[in-house]
Amino acid sequence: MWPLAFIFTMPIIKLSATERRRASAFFTCLVLAICAWIFSVLSNTHNYTVKEALNFKNTPQRRAFHSLQSDTVNVNVTGSGWEMLFSRMNNQVQSFTVDLNTLENKSYIVLSSQLDEINNKKEIGRQITGFSPDTLYFDFSNRKVKRVPIRLITSIKYKKQYNQCNNITIRPGYVIVNGPANVIDKLTEWPSDTLKLDSLSETLTTELSLQHVREGNMSIYPKAVQVNVPVDEFTEKTLFIPVSLINNHNYDDVKIFPQKVKVTFMVSLSRYAETDEDFFEATANLDLWRNQGYKVLPVVVSKMPVYCKLVKIEPANIDFIVRK
């Protein structure tokens, strides 16, 4: 190795103005030549392979189908080098449509038989030359259509003093499900997406999507419904409700004390005036004494409007006397 002192004392090559112009021209020509070569290569036609997703049309109406392979295939493409470069840079998977009209009579589709139709919808200069796999196979079962109710899934938080004042309505309340009979027969409802609301203080009408079909051989209609959440401001109200005795099978002479209980509840302001004793029913179960030896009977509010929220019952238990 050369001594460090020698390295640092090496003379720096100095070029004259003419030599610098010649070197600059040389490197400029070299860069231009490389760019021209790259442009020429990318302008030529190349064969390359990309993944593309499958879309189906003209699905069988009398047969439920399920694809036995992936929903993407490897596609051999002929296109310019630019197309090949951009396809490598673009992460988005392109797609093409496959016609399934022949599945009414057989259980497979040969993609190459639809090559001309597929290429007619492709960009000029980016034509498909082959597929891997070229044949798609399908599993079939009897097809069935069924109407099932929609199950609304909610996560609603209300603003203080506000709450739901009536039943939530869904339009339509049913969904039409189409698919294999062995799957459709087990369905009793179809869930919605979760309706998430926070600090709700007024009636809301919104569109809510239904949960997506997970199986490729099923479909639902509609895919979204209209949901109405009635909301009102609530306030406290108190009523005295008579207590009814239930399960007095032997028609015993039973006296209860007190005969009325004080029921405190929250009610929406719009229904405050009209909500009276007729909307409520309080009961005490005599079987608790006969079968379990209760000395006092707990009071249960067995009937109450949906727009009311029970706060408390006073007294919560009543005394009774059974006369023989």
DSSP symbols for 150-173: EEEEEEEEEPTTEEE-S--EEES-
Would you say the pTM of this structure is higher than 0.85?
Answer: no
317-323 sheet: strands from edge to edge: 253-257, 317-323, 297-298
154 and 95 within one domain: no
For position 242, which CATH number holds? 2.170.120.30
- Concatenating the DSSP letter of every residue in 184-234 gives HTT-S-EEEEEEEEEEE-S-EEEEEEBPPP-STT-EEE-SEEEEEE-EEEE
Q: Which pLDDT score, from 0 to 100, does residue 46 have?
A: 62
What is the per-residue pLDDT for 143? 75
Pairing between strand 231-246 and 281-285?
A: parallel
Q: Give the total number of structural domains in the chain.
A: 4
On whether both 305 and 240 belong to a single domain, the answer is: yes
pLDDT attached to residue 1? 46
Token reading at 139: 């599993």
Q: Is residue 180 part of a domain?
A: yes
Domain membership flag for residue 4: no
Distance CA 180, CA 256 (A): 60
- In eight-state DSSP terms, residue 123 is P
Taking each helix axis from N to C terminus, what angle separates 17-43 and 81-89, rounded to the nearest 10 degrees? 90
DSSP type of residue 113 = G
> Both 159 and 240 in a single domain?
no
3-class SS of residue 251? coil
- Where are the alpha helices (H) located in the chain, listed in sequence order? 4-8, 17-43, 81-89, 115-119, 181-184, 287-292
Quick one: pLDDT at residue 113? 86
- pLDDT < 50: residue spans in the chain: 1, 4-8
Q: Do 56 and 35 share a domain, yes or no?
A: no
Domain containing residue 164 = 144-229
Return the pLDDT at 89.
54
Q: Tell me: do 148 and 213 sit in the same domain.
A: yes
CATH number of the domain to which 181 belongs: 2.170.120.40
pLDDT at 322: 85
